[in-house]
């Protein structure tokens, strides 16, 4: 991955985390990694734990950012969520998987779209 793409991704994750926290969610972990992969954001929403994938795109050429979360990514996130819950011993009432789309704009504020229970 290029340095520019990494920077855009990190920017999107920072904005997504801020947006979710301003919406009342509590950040538990960020860029959590294990041998099987990485989860962008892990948050608490009341009694629930939310595993969040952040996708940032500068153009809509290839569709909305959430279109990049295919079945393979969904399976991996479910596996990673189970690993995180096992390692932390957190026992939420519910587990939810969200996607946050980040659209940097050429002018004006970046647009952030939170898709709850995306899969």
Q: Which residue is associated with the tokens 């940032």?
A: 56
**Domain range annotation of the chain:** 3-115
Whether residue 1 is predicted with pLDDT greater than 80 in this model: the reply is no
Task: Select the more confidently predicted residue: 2 or 94.
Answer: 94
pLDDT tens across 16-66, in order? 999 999 999 999 999 999 999 999 999 999 999 999 999 998 877 788 888
Q: Any idea which architecture 3-115 has in CATH?
A: 3-Layer(aba) Sandwich (3.40)
| b (16+ CB within 10 A) / e for 42-58 | bbebeeebbbbbbbbbe
Whether residue 83 is predicted with pLDDT greater than 90 in this model: the reply is yes
Distance (Å, whole) CA 84 – CA 72:
18
C-alpha of 15 from chain center: 11
Distance (Å, whole) CA 105 – CA 65:
14
């Amino acid at each position: 991955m290029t340095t520019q793409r990494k920077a855009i991704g990190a920017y999107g994750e920072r904005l997504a985390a801020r947006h979710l926290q301003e919406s009342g969610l509590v950040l538990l972990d960020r860029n959590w990694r294990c041998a099987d992969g990485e989860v962008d954001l892990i948050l608490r929403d009341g009694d629930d734990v939310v595993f969040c994938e952040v996708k940032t795109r500068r153009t809509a050429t290839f569709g909305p950012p959430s279109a990049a979360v295919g079945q393979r990514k969904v399976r991996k996130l479910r596996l990673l969520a189970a690993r995180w819950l096992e390692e932390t011993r957190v026992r939420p009432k519910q587990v939810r998987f969200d996607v946050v789309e980040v659209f940097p704009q050429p002018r004006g504020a970046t647009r952030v779209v939170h898709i709850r229970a995306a899969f």
